[in-house]
Chain A
Amino acid sequence: MKSYRDVFSELSRQHRAALIPFFVVGDPDFDTSLALVKAAIDAGADVLELGIPFSDPIADGPTIQKADIRAVRSGMNVRRAMEFIRQVKQHRDIPIGLLMYYNLVCHYGKAEFFRDARDAGVNSVLIADMTIDDADEVLGSIRAAGLDSVFMVTPNTSPERMQQIAARTTGFIYTVSVLGVTGSRDALSDSVEDLVRRLKSLTNVPICVGFGISKPEHARAVADAGADGAIIGSRIVGMIEAHLDDPGRAIAEVSAFIGQVKAALSGA
């Protein structure tokens, strides 16, 4: 199974940042969602970030909230999400990071959750509503399962805390580019380049930037600032929402968009 280390070191040899699309598993239904994810891989995704839908996603803006609702309504749950991931991995061996809300992990059973996720082919788990302060509740079972840990850094995180976060992170630091929730934004936040530079001076853990990266040039800008990856969520999920009656069109748009981002990240 391909590790983050494999992917990030290969990409760094090519002086390229990872393209990391985000999908809500099962949005709008199992089959369409799987087709979308496969298309994203074929269009050039280097790593996947997948969210298992939760009823109360407090870190997410309206676009991803609606996707969570669609996916839950279509019958997605943790067990089926594991099956979904297995099928993605059969298509291509690509690193997968899960984005979770803590209640789903607790409800499933922590040790079982991390073990089953690893068995399905997951590389890391980020829990949106858990910080390093409570990480001891999960880090043992994350390590026991052989998973990497991912935590967030935000623009208001102090330098000392950044260091503590880096010390507990084995996968990549999920760097949030804005004070706020997920959602497409027209302009990239001014603070993001500075944030990436500060993090880079503190740690060797890969830095991936997310929240509000909506255009190929945003991805390019964070890559130029030194980030190891760009995570694109709401913009892609918004394309799914815009074509609920025409899944083929959603797949084509998502593919084309990922192709454009890939080109922006690859260009000299």
Chain B
Amino acid sequence: MKHRGRYGDYGGYYVPEVLIPVLEELEEAFDRFRGDPAFVAELADLSTHYAGRPTPLYHARRFSEHVGFQVYLKREDLLHGGAHKVNNTLGQGLLAKHMGKSKLIAETGAGQHGLATAMIGALLGMETKIFMGVTDVERQSVNVHKMKLCGAEVIPVEGGTGTLKDAINDALRYWTSHVTDTFYLFGTAAGPHPYPTIVRHFQSCISREARQQFLDQTGRLPDMVVACVGGGSNAIGAFAHFIDDPDVKLIGVEAGGRGVATGKHAASIVAGTPGVLHGARSYLLQDAEGQVMDTESISAGLDYPGVGPEHCHLSDIGRARYVAADDAEVLETFGLLARIEGILPALESTHALAYVAGLKGTLGPETIVMVNLSGRGDKDVGIVEQHRPLE
């Protein structure tokens, strides 16, 4: 491999030997095509006309009034497919096509990445298989249906707790047996090198746009950028072009589940210790024996015991701060945003909003906070109804 894929102490490619040649091939293709004018033009065209970029930066006036400072929402929820995931699947899908691969596989938690991959599989005419934990298949059944409508095969994964971690295990195993014709379209900024770098690259359009939009709309940069963190793709996309602006605070919000103190959560940076899972060193939720723990979160997309290596590094060096929001706060905030802004946020993204709602009264009225609204909440209406039935 040409690069080590390290972010400080984190990252790398801790994988079985059989995956080394394919990861090398992927690294090489990414290095070649990322700057290739034809590739860049094709991606830009599809980003605009298929996915719907640029997304608006919306000043949420009533939410701002509620908290007492200025909140802007980066509307990734308005993208085709309903989440930021399409930024990455378009990029990697085109890469797969340019590499001459004929088949796509992907893991999915909430089903958003699975759906975004199924869409691109249809768009590019590639056979697509989606690995999804059985628990998630059940709680995100609408997305399962959508994936199938787009022609993808959904493979339910039984192992472990039947969530995202187990889906990644099986996708990696399948890939090991089908390396020649199959491209693994990894869904988040984690996993073995070069995935964290590739996913960051294709998601960084979020902050590239937002930075310019802030300059155009407010004449200055925001004071704080807040994003939810599962594996970390929407967050690294939202942070990337602000990392070199030291006055912009970066906050990643992890899934606090039933509360970090209960142990039933998915807050890897907040409560984990360094370990190795799915090919990378990262903060990891593991038990006293080094076994990876079962996680819990109301949002399937954040239900993951590891986290992207760059976030671990940003946390260690103090450039970004990571906090947790628990299920109860998230449900509260979901209802709030719907009521006062008419926007249903994805439960994942609602973690970021919940943290910001919790800052109510603590920041000056001129303070500008950007929340990356990574996805829309249509898929979550059933879950919310279960927990907070309407009278």
Confirm or deny: B343 has a beta carbon within 8 angstroms of a beta carbon on chain A: no
User: Taking A58-B169, A156-B179, A179-B177 as contacts, is the C-beta distance between A107 and B275 under 8 angstroms?
Assistant: yes
Question: What residues on B are CB-neighbors of A145 within 8 Å?
Answer: none
Cα A154 to Cα B13 with chains together (Å):
17
Confirm or deny: B87 has a beta carbon within 8 angstroms of a beta carbon on chain A: no
Confirm or deny: B290 has a beta carbon within 8 angstroms of a beta carbon on chain A: yes
Q: Are A58 and B159 in contact (CB under 8 A)?
A: no
Q: Are B14 and A129 in contact (CB under 8 A)?
A: yes
Q: Are B277 and A56 in contact (CB under 8 A)?
A: yes
Question: What residues on B are CB-neighbors of A158 within 8 Å?
Answer: 21
Contact of A129 among B16, B178, B292 (CB under 8 A): B16
Q: Are B17 and A152 in contact (CB under 8 A)?
A: yes
Confirm or deny: B15 has a beta carbon within 8 angstroms of a beta carbon on chain A: yes
Q: Which A residue sits closest to B1, measured CB to CB?
A: A133
Which residues 145-195 in B have Cβ within 8 Å of A in the complex? 159-160, 165, 169, 172-173, 176-180
Confirm or deny: A172 has a beta carbon within 8 angstroms of a beta carbon on chain B: no
- Interface-located stretch among B65-73, B76-84, B278-286, B332-340: B278-286
Question: What residues on B are CB-neighbors of A156 within 8 Å?
Answer: 18, 21-22, 179
Q: Are B1 and A58 in contact (CB under 8 A)?
A: no
Question: What residues on A are CB-neighbors of B177 within 8 Å?
Answer: 178-181
Contact of A103 among B16, B22, B180, B275 (CB under 8 A): B275
Confirm or deny: A247 has a beta carbon within 8 angstroms of a beta carbon on chain B: no
Interface string of A156-167 (1 = CB under 8 A from B): 111001000100
Q: What number of A-B contacts does a CB cutoff of 8 Å give? A: 100
Interface string of B8-48 (1 = CB under 8 A from A): 00001111111011100000000000000000000000000
Q: Are B286 and A103 in contact (CB under 8 A)?
A: yes
Q: Are A154 and B173 in contact (CB under 8 A)?
A: no
Which residues 102-125 in A have Cβ within 8 Å of B in the complex? 102-104, 106-108
Question: What residues on B are CB-neighbors of A101 within 8 Å?
Answer: 276
Q: Which A residue sits closest to B13, measured CB to CB?
A: A133
Contact of B291 among A54, A102, A106, A161 (CB under 8 A): A54
The distance from the CB of A16 to the nearest CB of chain B, in whole angstroms, is: 27
Confirm or deny: A65 has a beta carbon within 8 angstroms of a beta carbon on chain B: yes
Confirm or deny: B391 has a beta carbon within 8 angstroms of a beta carbon on chain A: no
Confirm or deny: B289 has a beta carbon within 8 angstroms of a beta carbon on chain A: yes
- Where chain A touches its partner, the secondary structure class is loop
Confirm or deny: A258 has a beta carbon within 8 angstroms of a beta carbon on chain B: no
Interface string of A68-87 (1 = CB under 8 A from B): 00001000011000000000
Contact of B15 among A60, A61, A65, A129 (CB under 8 A): A129
Q: Are B276 and A180 in contact (CB under 8 A)?
A: no
Q: Are A78 and B289 in contact (CB under 8 A)?
A: yes
Q: Are B290 and A58 in contact (CB under 8 A)?
A: no
Cα A128 to Cα B15 with chains together (Å):
7
Confirm or deny: A176 has a beta carbon within 8 angstroms of a beta carbon on chain B: yes
The distance from the CB of B253 to the nearest CB of chain A, in whole angstroms, is: 25
Question: What residues on A are CB-neighbors of B292 within 8 Å?
Answer: 55-56, 103
The distance from the CB of A212 to the nearest CB of chain B, in whole angstroms, is: 11
Q: Are A154 and B17 in contact (CB under 8 A)?
A: yes
Q: Are B172 and A151 in contact (CB under 8 A)?
A: no
Question: What residues on B are CB-neighbors of A187 within 8 Å?
Answer: none
Q: How large is the interface on A (under 10, 10 to 19, 20 to 34, 35 or more residues)?
A: 35 or more
Q: Are B276 and A129 in contact (CB under 8 A)?
A: yes
Question: What residues on A are CB-neighbors of B18 within 8 Å?
Answer: 152, 154-156, 176, 179-180
Confirm or deny: A134 has a beta carbon within 8 angstroms of a beta carbon on chain B: yes
Q: Which B residue sits closest to A65, measured CB to CB?
A: B159
Q: Are B278 and A58 in contact (CB under 8 A)?
A: yes
Question: What residues on B are CB-neighbors of A155 within 8 Å?
Answer: 18
User: Taking A131-B15, A133-B1, A134-B12 as contacts, is the C-beta distance between A106 and B176 under 8 angstroms?
Assistant: no
Confirm or deny: A59 has a beta carbon within 8 angstroms of a beta carbon on chain B: yes
Confirm or deny: A130 has a beta carbon within 8 angstroms of a beta carbon on chain B: yes
The distance from the CB of B212 to the nearest CB of chain A, in whole angstroms, is: 39
Contact of A72 among B179, B278, B279, B291 (CB under 8 A): B291
Cα A11 to Cα B231 with chains together (Å):
50
Contact of B290 among A106, A131, A161 (CB under 8 A): A106
Q: Are B290 and A108 in contact (CB under 8 A)?
A: yes
Q: Are B179 and A179 in contact (CB under 8 A)?
A: yes
The distance from the CB of B146 to the nearest CB of chain A, in whole angstroms, is: 28
Confirm or deny: A223 has a beta carbon within 8 angstroms of a beta carbon on chain B: no
Interface string of A40-54 (1 = CB under 8 A from B): 000000000000001
Question: What residues on B are CB-neighbors of A65 within 8 Å?
Answer: 159
User: Taking A55-B291, A77-B289, A103-B284 as contacts, is the C-beta distance between A131 and B176 under 8 angstroms?
Assistant: no
Question: What residues on A are CB-neighbors of B14 within 8 Å?
Answer: 102, 129-130, 134
Which residues 157-211 in A have Cβ within 8 Å of B in the complex? 157-158, 161, 165, 176, 178-181
Question: What residues on A are CB-neighbors of B173 within 8 Å?
Answer: 58-61, 180-181
The distance from the CB of A110 to the nearest CB of chain B, in whole angstroms, is: 12
Question: What residues on A are CB-neighbors of B172 within 8 Å?
Answer: 58
Q: Are A176 and B17 in contact (CB under 8 A)?
A: yes
**Residue of B13, B160, B176, B274 with most partner-chain A CB within 10 A:** B176
Q: Are A157 and B160 in contact (CB under 8 A)?
A: no
The distance from the CB of B283 to the nearest CB of chain A, in whole angstroms, is: 12
Q: Are A58 and B16 in contact (CB under 8 A)?
A: yes
The distance from the CB of B238 to the nearest CB of chain A, in whole angstroms, is: 29
Chain B residues in the interface with A (C-beta under 8 A): 1, 12-18, 20-22, 159-160, 165, 169, 172-173, 176-180, 274-279, 284, 286, 289-292
A and B contact pairs by CB, cutoff 8 A, 10 listed? A55-B292, A59-B173, A102-B14, A106-B276, A129-B279, A134-B12, A154-B16, A155-B18, A179-B177, A180-B173
Chain A residues in the interface with B (C-beta under 8 A): 54-56, 58-61, 65, 72, 77-78, 101-104, 106-108, 128-131, 133-134, 151-158, 161, 165, 176, 178-181
4 A-B pairs closest in CB distance: A107-B290, A180-B177, A154-B18, A152-B17
